[in-house]
Amino acid sequence: MTMKTLARLDAVAAVLLLVWAGMVLGFALLMAPLLFGLLPSRDLAGMIAGRVVARLDLAAWIAFGAAILLVQGSRWMLELREDLLGPMRLWSAAALLALLMCFTSAFIVSPKLHAIRARMDGPVESLAPDHPDRAAYRKAHGISRQLMGLRLLLALALAAGTLALPRKSAEAVRP
């Protein structure tokens, strides 16, 4: 594989990560404030926002997974001959951490939020401030926001990190 091909694959991976990061920023900075500011009920706004977050989770799986395939697939044999801890391994560890956060959000936190909502008789804001379901919902929602923020930072770091990845061709590495 040539250096030019590796650079192109890195660019595609960076674009995928930046597109996902842009979607998250658009949701966090534009859509969520509008939903909660304009809709008559925070409950309705939360339901719509929850559906958008589920789609962002799916897009995160696609963006991070495709980035790993593009970057790793082109270098995995080269990495076997390199240092124990290099830019490729650090990039890979960060990408796998992002996928772990995708898993946590999609299969642990989101189902927990749905289970809490299913137990409620009405909107979250109708519960007393010290109600256990309201506290549990607030905690799970906070974890969900933190996971999204951390994945956003990882997406930006991984996109920037593609610049530091090795681009030696297979011919240049042969002993």
What is the token pair recorded at 171?
A: 């011919």
| Cut 0.75: pTM above it | yes
For residues 121 and 31, give the distance between their C-alpha atoms in angstroms, rounded to a whole number. 27
List, for residues 57-110, the tens digit of each pLDDT value: 999 999 999 999 999 877 765 655 656 667 888 888 999 999 999 999 999 999
Q: Which residue shows structure tokens 């607030």?
A: 138
- Domain total of the chain: 1
What is the token pair recorded at 93?
A: 């560890």
Mean pLDDT estimate for the chain = 89
Report percent pLDDT > 70 for the chain: 89
Q: What is the DSSP string of 20-80?
A: HHHHHHHIIIIIHHHHHHHSS-HHHHHHHHHHHHHHHHHHHHHHHHHHHHHHHHTTHHHHT
**Residue 47 belongs to domain spanning:** 3-173
**Residues with Cβ within 8 Å of residue 61, at least 6 apart in sequence:** 99, 102, 106
